[in-house]
Structure 1
Amino acid sequence: MRKQHADVIVIGGGLGGCMAALSAAKMGLTVIMTEETDWIGGQLTSQAVPPDEHQWIEQFGSTATYREFRRRVREYYKQNYPLTKTAMEDPLLNPGNGWVTRLAHEPKVALHILEQMLAPYVNGGKLTIQYHYVAEEAEVKDDVVQSITVRQLHSHEKIQLTGSYYIDATECGDVLPLAGVEYVTGAESKDDTGEPHALDEADPMDMQAITHVFAVDYIDGADFTIEKPEQYDFWKDFVPSYSNYPLLSWHAVNSQDTTTLREFTMFPNDQDIPALFTYRRVLDFNNLEKPIYDGDLSLINWPQNDYFLGPIIDVSETERKKNLENARQLSLSLLYWLQTEAPRLDGGKGYPGLRLNNEALDTEDGLAKYPYIRESRRIKAVQTITEMDVSKELRGEKGIRTYSDSVGVGSYHLDLHHTTNSNRTFYIPSYPYEIPLGALLPIRVKNLLPACKNIGTTHITNGCYRLHPTEWNIGESVGYLVSFAITNKVGVHDVRADANLLTSYQKLLQENGVQIHWPDGTELAGG
């Protein structure tokens, strides 16, 4: 078995992992980052989810590197695509004009920008990226991780990785059980957290839906109908517990009032029915001066392909694979239904001109390389963020909760998609929030840190802390934290416990463009 050493070992190349690696490398440390697929970028790339962002994102409420990423995405389109004059001159260009985000862009563009941002440190030897590797084993002694062994998915070669600090940036918190880190899964109880919306009894298996996103374009008059999926008959007839309609229908939960259903349709129309094709459209043909694409490109991540019939965390390998395949079959079944049976507003059925676009996601079947994971294992942290810390209703006039140990900011509703056992869903208004350092620190293990959805949130608060800009911020702040600890020869827990160290660390964050508090009056602007 080969051995490799670096100052920092990052397991997982999603947004949190990339930013942890970038900030640590910027500080002069050597970093090894592993990634399960052949694309870094997680949510934005291999999972094909355009960024969900808050309303102030163009002005503030993110790190400087996240704003730089967004600027580079727009510049990439303006420098490389034959845009119309209007699109070229738009400082807030939205390439896909998707209505879920102010910056709907193709996953390959995000991949290109992220690789550019990391390139100087890869080229200079500070950062090594190992693709197609997963964590398999961890050695721990006296609450200190000694090594993590990773396995190559194709060759099965193993590498024992050693470093001063280890960062779990996997989508499911896969390193936590290997290293014996205390963690929580699923839904806590009211007795556990005191949250009004918690379950009466905890259910570790009640986790949010996963979604296997796919990419489609639309060519009117053509027929790209796929072969009938193996599970289509099941999904066509499946009626979820929260609805009187089949899951494969134009009726889905109303996000503004999750106790009601709302009607949707495929394309924009004059009947004021929301059009799902444009929801996560990442390339709007109308932005192009020349027809280099055959039609609009959209990423299909809708309520209709949320898979909630079973979890993929802390179950047997057989169960995990079954649920992953079921999620894939659901997405293919949704596509087949759209192509053949979806009711059209003109009275007809089906849109055979929908085409799986395998080029967009660099896959043979047009499905994302990895399913979108909304909920991970979560560390038992020095401080756990609860519903009482972010809910508008519960905080009332107290407004945004501030933390003396804040290491970043974010904003999003408490948005939980249907869960695997209770089938509950929430969309609870929240205040903009801060990221407390205490939520990034495990209660016991000294040198392993979370860098994405595995921080110290609850099942409920994960619903807002899981978004792209927040995960980015978490990873970036963790990278600076381990750098600060190594440079000052202190432990990461000491940084929070010592006021002088905490002040110095927060100064380092701010000097590197990490916003740690919201401007006064932010929540009054309609957040």
Structure 2
Amino acid sequence: MLKQDSADVVVIGGGLGGCMASLAAAKMGLRVIMTEETDWLGGQLTSQAVPPDEHKWIEKYGCTGTFREFRNRVREYYRANYPLTKEARENEILNPGNGWVSRLAHEPKVALKVIEDMLAPYMNSGRIKVLYNFKAAEAKTEEDAVKSVTVTHNSGAQSIELIGQYFLDATECGDVLPIAGVEYVSGAESMNETGEPHALEKADPIDMQSFTYVFAVDYIEGGNFTIDKPEQYDFWRDYMPSFSHLPLFSWYATDADDTTKLKQFTLFPNDEGIPSLFTYRRILDTENLDSDLYEGDISLINWAQNDYSLGPIYGVPQEEIDKNLFSAKQQSLSLLYWLQTEAPRLDGGKGYPGLRLRKDVLDTEDGLAKYPYIRESRRIKAVYTITEKDVSKEIRGDQGICEYFDSVGVGSYHLDLHHTTVSKRSFYIPNYPYEIPLGALLPIRVKNLLPACKNIGTTQITNGCYRLHPTEWNIGESAGYLAAYALKNNITPHQVRQEEKHLQEYQNLLVKNGIQLHWPEDIDL
């Protein structure tokens, strides 16, 4: 007989959105069951190994109170536990890795510890129950409601039917949507559907953004840590992407300022002013330490060179999914081997054998992240769909920030679209700071399932900015409070938006709990 478990709210997915949805619901007194495909909570920051991508105002405003708490706790963790220099310890905006992609580039294990600490009172009391290494397998529905979601252990040895009043899909790929019959979109929409100038003329549901298997390395001068030659190395070394006249494995990649051009990079800082990719996502800078605790700086390798764009990992047969996951791992390992053996150095030599794969940093046998970095999810067909006209600075012109009457949060990031699987498009469109409309969290039909990750009502193009860490965090947190508010008031989330009294009370609840609904009027754009 199939084992069953129940809670007020069932959250499928333990990434940033899932953790914050669970925390919000638990704070409201509800019992929560959260599942996670790996043995690490935290998604993008931990199992996917991506330091926080943030906007330029992040130290002052533009995120939820709990995200700010997380950032403060990360810095305090280093101050409390690491032998920092006096200068680093006294730096209010300490950046542990001094990576230039983020103001808070830090180790995934530190993010994991901080997230676990934030959840600890609710997990230890039993308010939040976490099922590790489980993924969604099937769902039962009745009319416009989800009745249960069955999750299966990665080993295949156990399945559990989870019963709840609300279900939040916080998976990285929107995995609950198809099994629960929730209307959704995947891949690229057409210009006719969205009215977006950068959309395709014809929709293509498998034209999805590339994903990446991140890995961690340090560098030991004079060392030789060359890995065994990967099985697909010859293919990836010679691979010439359609969007470039140079091999993918080169020191040239798409220029974010003009995606029709290439920009030169190199590995380490230099006197020639060529940007260093090692310091891009460096998560531990030994210059911050007053000891030789670490043998060298540590960097996470998540570059254009290991973005996998040859095929998707959902919406296609399992055989193709398995092939693409394997090839993506081979691409990342091949990049490492190329860096160690053949990458041109500025001094005229080749290869950096002192690069050492740090399997311990990500706690895996192959040295790759526990889970691929997913940039694009299935997206609900929503009551309100956010399009390019809501966010693009060029389109909005002097209209400025798009404000919504039903805002449930804020964020900001360029409309950053990595090369897609079919059309190979890539965008980096300047944006205005944006708000998160409640309508984008409401499926057009289903009443008790909410998106809590990258699966809200965006288009493929606007997903490019709504997918980043602080925004996913905010989406999950607001979804958790929404489920709790609806339950406690015996109404549906759709009614919360439709009835002014409830919308005002729900938004007041968000503000009371540190969620910013609008950007300051005097923001320097």
* Same structural fold, with TM-score higher than 0.5 when normalized by the shorter chain: yes
Distance in 2 between residues matched to 1:193 and 1:313, nearest whole Å: 23
**2:267 equivalent to 1:276:** no
The aligned amino acid for 1:375 is: E
Q: Which residue does the alignment assign to 1:301?
A: 302
Superposition pairs for residues 340-489 of structure 1, below 5 Å?
Answer: 340-489=341-490
User: Following superposition of structure 1 onto structure 2, how do residues 209-288 of structure 1 map, counting pairs within 5 Å?
Assistant: 209-288=210-289
**One-letter code of the match for 1:452?**
C
1:124-143 aligned at under 5 Å gives the runs 124-143=125-144
Q: In the aligned structure 1, how far is the partner of 2:398 from the partner of 2:158?
A: 57
Which amino acid in the other structure matches residue 294 of structure 1? E
TM-score in terms of structure 2 length: 0.99
SS at match of 1:176: helix
Contact 1:308 1:419 in 2 (8 A): yes
Q: Counterpart of 1:68 in 2: which secondary structure?
A: helix
What is the identity, as a one-letter code, of the residue corresponding to 1:237? D
TM superposition shift of 1:415:
0.3
TM-score by length of 1: 0.99
Q: Offset at 1:228?
A: 0.3
Give the conservation status (yes or no) of the 8 Å contact 1:282–1:299: yes
Residues in 2 aligned to 1:467 and 1:189: alpha-carbon distance in whole angstroms: 24
- How far apart are 1:136 and its partner, in Å? 0.6
Q: 1:366 offset after TM fit, Å? A: 1.4
Partner SS state of residue 120, structure 2:
helix
Give the Cα separation in 2 of the matches to 1:154 and 1:312.
20
TM-superposed CA distance for 1:519, in Å, is 0.3
* Equivalent position SS for 2:410: strand
1:490 Cα deviation after fit: 0.7
- How far is the alpha carbon of 1:137 from its aligned partner? 0.7
Whole-angstrom distance in 1 between the partners of 2:35 and 2:157:
14
Secondary structure of the corresponding residue to residue 149 of structure 2? strand
Q: Is 1:329 the equivalent of 2:327? A: no
**Residues of 2 paired with 1:14 and 1:6: CA distance?**
19
- The residue that corresponds to 2:15 in the other structure is 14
CA contact (8 A) 1:252 1:262 kept: yes
Q: What one-letter code is carried by the residue in structure 1 that aligns with 2:383?
A: V
Equivalent residues in 2 for 1:498-513 (5 A)? 498-513=499-514
Q: How many angstroms apart in 2 are the aligned matches of 1:245 and 1:163?
A: 53
- Aligned-partner Cα distance in 2 for 1:461–1:296: 35
Runs of 4+ in 1 over 4 A off after TM superposition: none
Following TM superposition, by how much is the alpha carbon of 1:154 offset from its aligned partner in structure 2, in angstroms?
1.6
Report the secondary structure of 1:6's partner residue. Answer: strand
Residue aligning to 2:198: 197
Query: Per-residue CA shift, 1:448-468, capped at 9, x if unaligned?
Result: 010010000001000000000
Give a deviation string over 1:478-501, Cα, whole Å, max 9, x none.
000001001111111100000100
Whether contact under 8 Å (1:151, 1:158) holds in the other structure is yes
Q: Distance in 1 between matches of 2:244 and 2:126?
A: 54
Q: Which runs of 5+ in 2 are unaligned?
A: none
Counterpart Cα distance in 2 of 1:342 and 1:233: 14
Q: 1:155 offset after TM fit, Å?
A: 4.7
**Residue deviations 1:188-225 (CA, integer Å, cap 9, x gap):** 00100000000011111110000000000000000000
Alignment-derived partner of residue 92 in structure 2:
91
CA displacement 1:334-366 (0-9 Å, x = unmatched): 000000000000110000000000111011121
Matched-pair contact (CA < 8 Å) for 1:356–1:365? no
- Equivalent position of 1:65 in the other structure: 66
Q: How does 1:35-50 map to 2 (within 5 A)?
A: 35-50=36-51
In structure 2, C-alpha distance between the alignment counterparts of 1:475 and 1:268, rounded to whole Å: 38
Q: CA deviation at 1:156?
A: 2.3
**CA offsets 1:143-171 (integer angstroms, 9 cap, x no match):** 11011111111252111100110000000
The Cα of 1:294 is off from its aligned counterpart by: 1.0
Aligned: 1:115 with 2:107: no
Partner Cα separation in structure 2 for residue 282 and residue 46 of structure 1? 15
Question: Contact (CA 8 Å) 1:225, 1:355: kept in 2 or not?
Answer: yes
Secondary structure at 1:295 match in 2: coil
Provide the rounded CA distance (Å) in 1 between the counterparts of 2:104 and 2:250.
28
Q: For residues 521 and 454 of structure 1, what CA distance do their matches in structure 2 show?
A: 31
Task: State the one-letter code of the partner of 2:145.
Answer: V
Gaps of 5+ in 1: none
- The answer to whether 1:79 aligns with 2:80 is yes
Q: What's the C-alpha RMSD, in Å, of the aligned pairs?
A: 0.5
Identity of aligned residues (%): 69
Aligned to 1:364, what secondary structure does the other structure show? coil
For 1:15, the aligned partner's letter is L
